[in-house]
Amino acid sequence: MAESPLHRALQLHSTSPLHRASETQSTSPLRSHSIEHRSDAEQKRREVGEREGIVYIFTSFNNTIVHATDLSGNTISRISGGIVTKQDRLKANPTVAMFVAKRVAEMLKDNGVNALYIRIRAKTGSSGLGPGAHAVVKSLSKEGFRIISIVDTTRIPRGGPKPAGGRRGRRV
């Protein structure tokens, strides 16, 4: 019975030293290298003492609320525009948001946090973020925090409840 060229190639491949080396290793050389590289980077961060936190920014056109937690969800600080200023018209101001971020930054530094995941949320159904969101992110980065990621977690209405007024609407 004659052997096909494909059968011979498979036999040669199974007897090659490269194939035997790959049988002893469970992962490919490229994959093991990337895992080693990642663990070195994590190890360097741990040596430096990097601690991560999550900053939730709720921003509307009336107020800016910044809530900082550690990765397990324990609150480190919660500051709003109303704590910094007592004038209602200034609570959503970018300048006040900057002072809010500075107070949050002090509390985060006291707890040893130096890297942040940022989650920005606006009022559901609003046209966009409030004026304080970008000011908070910018001032936190200027305070020396390493920003890992910024995510917009604004809720999106999908239909919602039936509008009042019935089928023909409100008749005036």
Map out the domains of the chain with their CATH numbers: 8-40 (no CATH), 52-152 (3.30.420.80)
How much is the pLDDT for 164? 86
How much is the pLDDT for 101? 95
Among candidate residues 127, 126, 55, the one with its CA nearest the CA of residue 97 = 55
- Provide the whole-model pTM: 0.67
Q: Are 77 and 104 in contact (CB under 8 A)?
A: yes
Q: Which residues of the chain have pLDDT under 50?
A: 20-35
The C-alpha torsion from 39 through 41 and 47 to 51, rounded to 10°, is -100
Give, in order, the Cα–Cα distances in Å from 44 to each of 13, 144, 152.
40, 18, 30
How much is the pLDDT for 163? 81
Among candidate residues 37, 47, 34, 55, the one with its CA nearest the CA of residue 146 = 55
The helix, strand and coil proportions of the chain, stated in percent and rounded to the nearest 5, come to 40, 20, 35
Terminal alpha carbon distance of the chain: 95
How much is the pLDDT for 3? 64
Token representation of residue 25: 């290793």
Q: Are 75 and 107 in contact (CB under 8 A)?
A: no
